[in-house]
């Protein structure tokens, strides 16, 4: 079946995107593609976005990644959401930003546009002024005896990002959770357009601060693919080193906070102390605790000094020495097991349908890790870690396992740093590229199109959280309200990353 | 590794004899303290003493600032030894710690939060974005820095500010109350 689908897409006109081709389909072919996807469970929708003239769908069919596009005459295109539920929020976002309507889309409510911008369709060819008062948000209805609503947010009790959660509960049990996001919409894409790649990189680095390395790398990968530029082996190795440090400090953070949300403060305190050691080592080595703006299209900004390498090795030693002890404590306390095991289960079938990557996908049996497939330099052989339980416990344990892997990878990279230029100059020419880099949450996807002057003509940064947020809603169903912080943390989707 | 090392209680007992993990406190710059002193009313000292309750609001940040604010609460920085603590409700807070460029979509929520706080109150804008909108200041979706809608008492620049810089700022607020 997938073969037929691939043939279908490849009938379109090639648009020259690298390394994954983009095909422009006519409306008939686009409709046929949607029909074919409806009958093929193996197709993963990685992202759906637009520009003023076209909509674009990034698809993964088995080992193949490609982009299918279609023009939008009169601002309309056939919706993906009837066959791919993961498309719903993308379609709502496309309407809010570019004004294109998904015909037949199963949810036409606004998403990012809360009615508070001075204009509508800010990225459309001709945005319209907005003079309407902000509308009241509409939530999906729930019927049943004794069902009541609990509104939470956008301002939460802890130090976290803003978002509104509408719970429908029956007694203690959550019947439905619906998230309303968009509060952090900063107009990322609009700010990137028309800028040179090196300037736009600052926005990629600030899409989601905790994934600054992964997003910077994915953006750089997209730009380099567009320009046919190959960074030096040294630059790639240094990028991977930063990416593994980022994975390590975030996994430590998430794992610690998960234990904290189950009221086990000591594990949180220890994980926090270890994470701080990693951040300080990163600051010593790369001059910034989160390693922000250290990866630019063409290469990296800093080389690894002997002092930096020593700091990183010392931090890795400290973390590696303590992880087994923390794991043993986690394992031997029934109070933790009681909260973690069987809580917030995400079914493998849902993870497949929504193409969820990262820990969320792998903890529910989807063996996808962009470092392994499609794979990119300098990662050679890497088998994704997979678990099948799909509960909070599985996601916590997977993070623990992956921390060990990151430490080993980081050591390996430092032991054999290849020679090479830190950064290559960017040629000034047109091109189109797609970058895909595995961050701590999952794969970060950046599509970039440059014009003849080397300025960004179009772009879309897709955080992995786009594919996680709907699953958080599914994970809450039937769980008790008091477990929401725990389940939310176990998924840890980015708000800023999807609010754009 | 011996079995007992893997248990929780021996590790906790070790903490009784080992030195603390917590860093020595940073000293806030004198000029910052003096500048803040001038802004604090005498009445506030009697009411607050050496303690501040902080409510944090992310008004548009990329979450980098939140990472460092959370780090400030870790055992390494141990915010609470200074009488500084984060509270869940603005109704319990003396300080509103705001991050991010102020997005148009967060304006109303931020103003509601500020209105819920009892007087006297202080607003701290943390991070380059909160100071003046940072790299996002030219966007249709952004109002600018936090001072676009709220009077700001203290700016803590940085992208993101480090936990030490954040702590210095908060300590300056405390010092200003003591001195002023």
In this structure, the answer to whether residues A282 and A350 fall within a common structural domain is yes
Asked if A132 reaches chain B (Cβ–Cβ under 8 Å), the answer is: no
Write the DSSP symbol of residue A196.
B
Region B150-172 average pLDDT = 93
CA A286 to chain centre: 24
Task: Give domain status of residue A63, yes or no.
Answer: yes
Task: Give domain status of residue B166, yes or no.
Answer: yes
Neighbours of A469 (CB within 10 A): 22
In this structure, the answer to whether residues A276 and A407 fall within a common structural domain is yes
Asked if A95 reaches chain B (Cβ–Cβ under 8 Å), the answer is: no
Task: Give domain status of residue B26, yes or no.
Answer: no
pLDDT digits (tens, 9 = 90+) for B139-159: 999 999 999 999 999 999 999
Exposure class string for A243-265: b at 16+ Cβ within 10 A, else e = bbbbbbbbbbbbbbbbbbbbebe
Domain hosting A332: range is 188-499
Q: Which residues of A touch B86 (CB under 8 A)?
A: 158-159
Task: Give domain status of residue A172, yes or no.
Answer: no
In this structure, the answer to whether residues A420 and A303 fall within a common structural domain is yes
Task: Give domain status of residue A137, yes or no.
Answer: no
A22-25 and A64-71 strand pairing: parallel
Binary contact (A272, B142; C-beta < 8 A): no
In this structure, the answer to whether residues A488 and A420 fall within a common structural domain is yes
Domain boundary residue, one of A85, A114, A129: A129
Q: Which residues of B touch A266 (CB under 8 A)?
A: 8, 12
Task: Give domain status of residue A181, yes or no.
Answer: no
Cβ-nearest to A276 among B56, B59, B71:
B71
Task: Give domain status of residue B57, yes or no.
Answer: yes
Asked if B148 reaches chain A (Cβ–Cβ under 8 Å), the answer is: no
Q: Please say whether the beta carbons of A494 and A383 come within 8 A.
A: no
Cβ-nearest to B136 among A157, A191, A212:
A191
Number of structural domains (chain A) is: 2
Q: Which residues of B touch A325 (CB under 8 A)?
A: 1, 5-6, 11
Look up the CATH number of the domain holding residue B151.
3.40.50.12280
Task: Give domain status of residue B16, yes or no.
Answer: no
Task: Give domain status of residue A385, yes or no.
Answer: yes
Domain hosting B81: range is 45-179
In this structure, the answer to whether residues A493 and A391 fall within a common structural domain is yes
In this structure, the answer to whether residues A211 and A301 fall within a common structural domain is yes
Task: Give domain status of residue B31, yes or no.
Answer: no
Cβ-nearest to A324 among B1, B75, B160:
B1
Binary contact (A184, B103; C-beta < 8 A): yes
- What is the pLDDT at residue A153? 87
Task: Give domain status of residue A251, yes or no.
Answer: yes
Task: Give domain status of residue B11, yes or no.
Answer: no
Number of structural domains (chain B) is: 1
Domain boundary residue, one of A129, A164, A180: A129
In this structure, the answer to whether residues A235 and A350 fall within a common structural domain is yes
Task: Give domain status of residue A147, yes or no.
Answer: no
In this structure, the answer to whether residues A215 and A119 fall within a common structural domain is no
- What is the pLDDT at residue A142? 87
Asked if B99 reaches chain A (Cβ–Cβ under 8 Å), the answer is: no
In this structure, the answer to whether residues A194 and A125 fall within a common structural domain is no
Residues 6+ apart with CB under 8 A from A390: A345, A346, A347, A348, A351, A363, A364, A365
- Interface confidence (ipTM) of the complex: 0.94
List per-residue pLDDT tens for chain A, 500 residues long. Answer: 578 888 889 999 999 999 999 999 999 999 999 999 888 878 999 999 999 999 999 999 888 999 999 999 999 999 999 999 999 999 999 999 999 999 999 999 999 999 999 999 999 999 999 989 999 999 998 888 999 999 998 999 999 999 999 999 999 999 999 999 999 999 999 999 999 999 999 999 999 999 999 999 999 999 999 999 999 999 999 999 999 999 999 999 999 999 999 999 999 999 999 999 999 999 999 999 999 999 999 999 999 999 999 999 999 999 999 999 999 999 999 999 999 999 999 999 999 999 999 999 999 999 999 999 899 999 988 889 999 999 999 999 999 999 999 999 999 999 999 999 999 999 999 999 999 999 999 999 999 999 999 999 999 999 999 999 999 999 999 999 999 999 999 999 999 999 99
Look up the CATH number of the domain holding residue A258.
1.10.645.10
- What is the pLDDT at residue B15? 81
User: H helices of A48-135, where?
Assistant: 88-98
Nearest chain A alpha carbon to B93: A157
Task: Give domain status of residue A139, yes or no.
Answer: no
């Amino acid at each position: 079946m997938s073969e037929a689908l691939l043939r279908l897409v490849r009938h379109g006109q090639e648009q020259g995107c690298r390394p994954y081709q983009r095909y422009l389909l006519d409306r008939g072919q686009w409709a046929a593609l949607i029909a074919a996807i409806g009958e093929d469970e193996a197709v993963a929708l990685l992202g759906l976005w637009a520009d003023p003239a076209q909509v674009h769908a990034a698809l993964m069919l088995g080992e193949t990644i490609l982009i299918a596009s279609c023009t939008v005459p009169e601002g309309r295109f056939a919706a993906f959401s009837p066959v791919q539920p993961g498309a719903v929020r993308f379609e709502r976002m496309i309407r809010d930003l570019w004004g294109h309507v998904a015909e037949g889309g199963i949810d036409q409510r606004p998403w990012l546009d809360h009615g508070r911008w001075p204009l509508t369709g800010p990225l459309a060819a001709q945005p319209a002024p907005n003079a309407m008062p902000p509308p009241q948000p509409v939530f999906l209805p729930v019927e049943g005896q004794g069902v009541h609503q609990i509104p939470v947010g956008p301002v939460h009790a802890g130090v976290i990002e803003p978002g509104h959660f509408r719970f429908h509960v029956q007694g203690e049990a959550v019947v439905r959770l619906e998230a309303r996001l968009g509060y952090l919409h900063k107009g990322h894409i609009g700010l990137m357009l028309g800028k040179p790649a090196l300037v736009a990189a600052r926005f990629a680095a600030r899409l989601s601060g905790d994934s600054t390395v992964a997003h910077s790398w994915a953006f750089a990968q997209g730009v380099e693919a567009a320009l046919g530029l190959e960074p030096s082996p040294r630059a790639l190795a240094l990028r991977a080193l930063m990416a593994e440090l980022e994975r390590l400090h975030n996994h430590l953070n998430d794992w610690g906070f998960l234990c904290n949300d189950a009221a086990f403060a000591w594990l949180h305190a220890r994980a926090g102390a270890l994470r701080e050691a990693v951040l300080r080592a990163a600051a010593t080595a790369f001059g910034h605790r989160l390693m922000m703006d250290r990866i630019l299209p063409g290469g990296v900004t800093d080389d690894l000094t002997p002092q930096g390498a020593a700091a990183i090795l010392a931090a890795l030693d400290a973390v590696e020495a303590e992880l087994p002890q923390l794991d043993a404590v986690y394992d031997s306390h029934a109070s933790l097991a009681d909260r973690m095991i069987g809580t917030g289960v995400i079914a493998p079938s849902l993870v497949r349908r929504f193409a969820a990557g990262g820990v969320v996908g792998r903890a529910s049996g989807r063996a996808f890790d962009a470092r392994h497939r499609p794979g990119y330099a300098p990662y050679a052989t890497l088998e994704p870690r997979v678990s099948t339980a799909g509960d909070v416990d599985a996601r916590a344990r997977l993070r623990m396992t992956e921390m060990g892997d990151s430490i080993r990878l980081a050591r390996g990279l430092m032991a054999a740093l290849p020679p090479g230029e830190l950064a290559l100059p960017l040629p000034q020419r047109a091109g189109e590229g797609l970058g895909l880099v595995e961050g701590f949450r999952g794969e970060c996807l950046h599509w970039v199109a440059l014009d003849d002057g080397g300025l960004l003509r179009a772009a879309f940064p897709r955080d992995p959280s786009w594919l996680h947020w709907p699953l958080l809603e599914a994970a809450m169903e039937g769980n008790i309200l008091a477990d929401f912080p725990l389940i939310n943390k176990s998924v840890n989707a980015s708000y800023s990353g999807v609010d754009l | 590794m011996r079995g007992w090392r893997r248990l929780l209680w021996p590790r906790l007992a070790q903490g009784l004899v080992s030195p603390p993990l917590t860093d020595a406190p940073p000293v806030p710059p004198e000029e910052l303290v003096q500048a803040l002193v001038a802004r604090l009313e005498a009445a506030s000292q009697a009411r607050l003493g050496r303690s501040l309750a902080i409510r944090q609001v992310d008004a548009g940040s990329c979450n980098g600032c939140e990472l460092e604010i959370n780090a400030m609460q870790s055992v390494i920085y141990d915010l609470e030894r200074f009488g500084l603590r984060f509270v869940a409700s603005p109704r319990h807070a003396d300080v509103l710690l705001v991050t991010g460029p102020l997005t148009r979509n967060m304006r109303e929520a931020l103003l509601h939060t500020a209105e819920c706080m009892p007087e006297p109150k202080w607003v701290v804008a943390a991070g380059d974005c909160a100071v003046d909108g940072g790299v996002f200041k030219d966007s249709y979706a952004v109002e600018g820095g936090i001072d676009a809608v709220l009077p700001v008492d203290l700016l803590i620049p940085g992208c993101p500010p480090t936990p030490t810089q954040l702590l210095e700022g908060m300590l300056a607020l405390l010092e200003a109350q003591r001195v002023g």
